[in-house]
Amino acid sequence: MLRKALKVVSWIGAGIIVLAVVVFLAAMNIEVVQDRLVANAVQRGVLAGLDDDWGGDKLEVAFCGTASPMGNGPSAQQCIGVLAGDKFFIVDAGARSAARANEIGLPMGRLNGVLVTHFHSDHISALGEMHLASWVRGRPSKLDVYGGPGINQVVDGFNMAYGLDYGYRIAHHGMAVLSPANAGLKARLINAPETGAVTIYEEDGLKISAFTVPHPPITPAYGYRFDYRGRSVVISGDTKKSGRLAAAAQNADVLIHEVLQPQLVKTITDALDTAELDALSKLLTDTLDYHTTPVEAAEVANAANVDTLVFNHFAPPPPNAIAERIYMRGVKQVRPQGAVLSKDGMRITLPPKTGDGPGIIEISGE
């Protein structure tokens, strides 16, 4: 008797679930319900976008692109946001990175500038979109774009290509909404020395330095160091294993280093060779001589005495956990701890340093 009663209860419960699903599906076809659900979602998204807790007394890093041109996965190409106080800079702007910066909630309206490490397409292709994303959010001046010799050509080219767009938007939305004075990119030339570093920005406690790295035949190729309230972050740019980079990164809290995994590259080139795609195979093979392996990057981090090494600009981008493990092969033998893989949307927070010990490093979105 009890068993029959339990079956009845079970059937009733299942019937209620089925009925709820039917009601839900029916409701989803009602226009007023659709409108209400969409309006609620949009409202939450807009309010979330107004929640600007970036920077302040902290030095923060946000990854708005971690991929190289090698691969077509979901990651955006190279883009790293650095925030300190009310200052906000982006290092490089590869394909899809402006969309990713918006997606992760970076405060685009207060973007001070973009620092370009070098002029490969995967480091500059989203400059136009970065301009628009910050302009429509109220950026108060033209967008400064810092880079080595050649930066004027890059900036002039983007301004020429997007000049009609600037005019269309001003005419359509009005000068009160989109100020003509703030439209366009402005080149900021950097002449970094062959050895050592040059200060390119120093204001309100934030110091940014530029230094050269070897990425032949590409010249100039720069890395950048950010110092703020006793904390420091260094971004390698694209480079071979470099003593100059190790010197520039001495005692930094975080070193963000590009990496190429030779075994994964060989797997791809073997497949391309089998398919007789010789030109593509050569293009990828050529990358082996001007990037850094994960083990080499770990050696640089040790030589620089940095607390945390973050792999970035993956060649190729790891599509799954197995590939991520391949990236870490041999790293622990060189650097037992303090090495992590970056991902789009990852955030690193460095509160002001107090005392003589190592400072706190918070990593979220891994």
* Interatomic CA distance for residues 306 and 203, integer angstroms: 25
pLDDT band at 11 (very low <50, low <70, confident <90, very high): low
Categorize the per-residue pLDDT at 17 as very low, low, confident or very high, splitting at 50, 70 and 90.
confident
CATH number of the domain within which 73 lies: 3.60.15.10
pLDDT over 70, % of the chain:
90
Residue 4 belongs to a domain: no
Say if residues 234 and 252 touch (Cβ distance below 8 Å).
yes
As a whole-number percent, the residues of the chain with pLDDT over 90 amount to 80
Tens digits of residue pLDDT in 74-119? 899 999 999 999 999 999 999 999 999 999 999 999 999 999 999 9
pLDDT, one tens digit per residue, over 211-244 is 999 999 999 999 999 999 999 999 999 999 999 9
**Is 19 inside a domain boundary?**
no
Place of tokens 């927070």: 349
In whole angstroms, give the CA distance from residue 312 to residue 34: 41
308: pLDDT strictly greater than 90: yes
For residue 55, the model assigns a pLDDT of 85
Here the tokens at position 41 are 């979602």
Choose the catalytic residue: 92, 122, 238, 253: 122
**152 within domain boundaries:** yes
**Is residue 47 situated within a structural domain?**
no
The question of whether 51 is a catalytic residue gets the answer no
The reply to whether 8 falls in a domain is: no
Distance CA 83, CA 57 (A): 10
Does a structural domain hold residue 161? yes
State the pTM of this model: 0.89
Residue 145's pLDDT is what?
98
Pairwise CA distance, residues 48 & 338, whole Å: 32
49 lies in some domain = no
| Number of structural domains in the chain | 1
Domain that holds residue 165: 55-353
What's the CA gap between 221 and 229, in Å, rounded?
Answer: 27
* Cα 249 from Cα 245, distance rounded (Å): 6
Is residue 150 included in any domain, yes or no?
Answer: yes
